[in-house]
Amino acid sequence: MKKYFIIIPSLLLCIIFASCRDDFAFSNSTGDLGFSQDTVFLDTVFTNIGSSTRTFKVYNNSSDDIVIPRVALAQGENSNYRLAVDGVPGRIFENVELLAKDSLFVFVETTIDINDFSSGDEFLYTDTIEFDSGPNQQKVELVTLVQDAIFLFPERDAQGVEETLPIGDPADGINISGFVLDDSELTLTAAKPYVIYGFAAVPANKTLTIEAGARLHFHSGSGIIVANEGSLQVNGLPSITDDLENEVIFEGDRLEPTYADIPGQWGCYMAYRW
């Protein structure tokens, strides 16, 4: 029986040492990452309105499990871009692991105030996502066109209560998010696009005039409402180029191509008694 007691512990030791073998050792990235895109274009956004989220993939095409020592925006914490690397939000990431023949997702979005960078109506904002550093560094470029706009929206009082408009019979107590346009807002021109939140109301005995070439962008659930005895005058003209430079355009405030043909992005135009 003694020889069995000697053999069994020996087998146990072999199993223990075998189980301690490091099957998941990670080596440093060598600059051979693959990317689904080398430049990410975030479509035109209005100043101070967040973009849609863009996504690209990073591939480890090697047969080794690797660690990327650093993934970071070139402008670091000062960047107006925001990232999520494999679901973790941030702007700078250290020691990102990536298994052999595997991939990870990088999500990108931004919110930009054009006044921080330019006095013009448009500004091209760029940054770079850097993977690793030195001779192994690889980059993905980020590009966003930011457009200035005039924003029309309900005000809030000192208690933070948003301005509303009564609709229908006052006894019903029905209100919608909205505001009354004052005299300085009753002529909309082509100088800058307008972004409207809530319902913009034209008061009685007033006319809202929209000049040729004006662009009105409505946030979800927004629109124009015209009171009894009020009126709306749209002075659009035929255009001579594909830019539709003289036509008046009503559309949503999401400018990405994926939203171009989606119905119901904003409310409506109403002639209503209020």
Q: Tens digit of pLDDT for each residue in 203-247?
A: 999 999 999 999 999 988 899 999 888 999 999 999 999 989 999
Boundaries of domain holding 108: 27-147
Both 140 and 172 in one domain: the answer is: no
Element (H, E) at 16: helix 2-19
* Tens-place pLDDT, residues 41-91: 988 889 888 898 999 999 999 999 999 999 999 999 999 999 999 999 999
Both 183 and 195 in one domain: the answer is: yes
Here the CATH number for the domain that contains residue 118 is 2.60.40.10
List of residues 6+ apart from 228 with CB closer than 8 A = 204, 272, 273
Both 48 and 159 in one domain: the answer is: no
Both 162 and 134 in one domain: the answer is: no
Mark which of 147, 163, 187 sits at the end of a domain: 147
**How far, rounded to the nearest angstrom, does the alpha carbon of residue 206 sit from its chain's CA centroid?**
37
Mark which of 147, 182, 205 sits at the end of a domain: 147
Counted domains in the chain: 2
Both 159 and 267 in one domain: the answer is: yes
> What is the rounded CA–CA span in Å between residue 42 and residue 110?
8
Beta bridge partners of 107: 55, 84
Q: Could you tell me if 124 and 41 are in contact, meaning their C-beta atoms sit under 8 angstroms apart?
A: no
pTM for this entry: 0.73
Both 258 and 198 in one domain: the answer is: yes
Both 163 and 84 in one domain: the answer is: no
Both 196 and 222 in one domain: the answer is: yes
